[in-house]
Amino acid sequence: MTTTSVQIDEAPAQTKPRPAPLSQYNMTYHDIPTLPDYITCYEIREGELYMAPSPTVNHQAISRKLVVILSAHDPDQEHGVCFYAPLDVVLHENLTVQPDILYVTSERKSIIKERHIFGAPDLCIEILSPRTVDDDLSLKYRYYKESGVREYWVVNPFDQTLTVHDLAKDEKVEYKAGNAAISTLPALAGLRVDVDKLFATD
């Protein structure tokens, strides 16, 4: 499958509130401002509004560790910057996702806008949970690959593995206990994620 980059123009600021969408099955990222403020964990998948389940404590503990690792690797953000959910990533007009963690390299910081990320991040990370495992392994993989995400990490707390997918080359490496995961991105050269420490309970 050929990876393609998708260019998306940010919508101009609205002078008046947009009317609410007529249907949750025909939405675009333009409809995001119409959602109630209490709705934060959601995605728009090919026009359909999807409400994500609340993450578990273990999920959040792993997410926090990864954010700390990525931030400590480049504390001055010379090579890139990481973000964590909830943050909208607009991949297409009708496709908005919220990766658990994402990373944008310095040369592509133009996709970082005030409210959203407009375009494919260089790295997306998803931490599997019982209710999202199927989507993360299939649907999210397809979305990220087709939109031009360069690397996709799948963190599996159940078997305590971290799989690094090089989406451009359609290759993957699974890292297990006793190993340290490494990235294929030049901006993250030298980064090592100790699998044992990642899944260790504090």
17 within some domain: no
Whether residue 164 contacts residue 180, with contact meaning beta carbons closer than 8 Å, is answered with no
**Size (the chain), residues:** 202
123 within some domain: yes
In which residue are the tokens 């199927």 written?
134
25 within some domain: no
35 within some domain: no
pLDDT tens for each residue of 187-197 = 999 999 999 99
Q: Please report, for the domain that includes residue 147, its CATH number.
A: 3.90.1570.10
Domains contained in the chain, number: 1
Its domain, for residue 125, covers 57-199
21 within some domain: no
Distance CA 51, CA 58 (A): 20
Write down the pTM of the prediction: 0.84
In which residue are the tokens 């979305």 written?
143
pLDDT tens for each residue of 55-67 = 899 999 999 999 9
161 within some domain: yes
124 or 2, which is more confident: 124
